[in-house]
Amino acid sequence: MKQFLPAIPLAGAKIVVVGSGEAALNKLRLFRNAPCDLVWATLGQPVTPPADLNPNTLILTGRSAFGLFRRARLVFIGLDDEGRAKRLARSARRAGALVNVVDNLPECDFYTPALVDRGIVTIAMSTGGAGPVLARDIRSAVEAVVAPGVGLLAEAAAKARDRVKAQFPTVDARRRFWEKALRGEAARRADQGDVAGAYDAIQHALVQSEDRAAGIVHLVGAGPGDPELLTVKAARLIRDAEVIVHDRLVSPEIIDRARRDALRIDVGKTAGSHPVPQSRICEILIEQARLGRRVVRLKGGDSFIFGRGGEEVEAVRAAGIEAHVTPGVSAALAAGAQAQIPLTHRDAAQAVTFVTGRPKTGGPALDYDALAATTHTLVVYMGVAVAATLSRRLIEVGRPSTTPVAVIENASLPIERRLFTTLERLSVDISAHAITGPAAIVIGDVVARAPEAAAALAAQAKLEVAA
């Protein structure tokens, strides 16, 4: 470790910023909501205070720096005159302050980190001044996964701290309580800006802890496979889960975001192989929740689009267990976006329909007459194995045989493949390219609006003419 990032209390601390240019303004913005005594010294340069300046800022426009650094805790110097900046830095150090001279690493006692500000929770990242842009990129990534209400959650936890300590005498017992209490309802209330509600949820968890805490099941859409397409909420739920019940379509990179000690249960299915029947999956969710655990049922894409999520949440609720659903990016949306196919377009498609190529055995068959409209985009899940029947029946009910079709296999993953063809050639080309899935089949004129598709379809047409 080349540097150590301390947390400096700002309440009542004197912070001095020297300079009038953008460098100084950037430092002032760091403290716009801080409870510090902020001093801005312009050294004789006229300035227009920015709208977001801390209202408690004392602006000194005099040319002299005499007495400026007395009792200062941190000093930031943003001057083009390097010699003067060094002299002021020495003066500030003699007064006992830590000094940061902008863009002059040898003159810095500390580096300015990239910050994620969540109230009383502050997250700092630093590259030691070597790559500020890199630090900002890391900050953006962290901001995407840190819940917005985490600061309010920390405030609520601080209020309950003494009672928790009294109820749980050991460090391990308190840790286990906080792991449960600071997730779920308390976190949800904090994200809504309800600090009182978060505190009440923690109080409720204290009462529950006297008995066995009730479990909870979250159905979470894991998206098409790319971990970066997880929603922020999904990533947090995966990280907090004690049990992960997952399908085979959920990528290892996503499952690896779970805690190391989380129980992972694979209930994946493949075509013709269902080692864990659906009824047993529902039983697993109920059993694990009844043990008082936070269970995440992790499903590829969105769990309510051909994921049988509706059946699972009904079973869980019928067992008297709390259940929540977190949406994911569906395979259809990811496949279309990755290939730049607009699933709807004012000049080509008025609507989009999602269907499964494998309806329930004994249930209603696909209504091909309803799917024949040329102004509708059709997206077929699990359709690779039935492509021949699919194309034949659609042509029979009026879909033109030349309708453009895209087959996107493993959408969003590095191994993604795209096949562009026509409805009459769909089955032949799937076989020729050895596409096995998982794949989304997009049928409709919108396919031709993707640049890659237009080129592929044009080349195919030339070959057919030549033949």
Instruction: Tell me the catalytic residues.
Output: 247, 269
Please count the other Cβ atoms lying within 10 Å of the Cβ belonging to residue 206.
17
Neighbours of 10 (CB within 10 A): 17
Is 195 within 8 Å of 300 (Cβ atoms)?
A: no
Q: State the Cα–Cα distance between residues 456 and 467, nearest whole angstrom.
A: 17
Q: Would you say 95 and 69 are in contact if contact means Cβ atoms under 8 Å apart?
A: yes
Contact, 231 vs 327, CB < 8 A?
Answer: yes
Distance from the Cα of residue 319 to its chain's centroid:
31
- Contact present, 350 and 344 (Cβ < 8 Å): yes
Query: Whose CA is closest to 216, among 239, 195, 192, 241?
Result: 241
Which residues lie below 8 Å from residue 456, measured CB to CB, with a gap of 6+? 420
Could you please report the per-residue DSSP string of 363-428? SPPP-TTTT--TTEEEEEES-STTHHHHHHHHHHTT--TT-EEEEEESTTSTT-EEEEEEGGGHHH
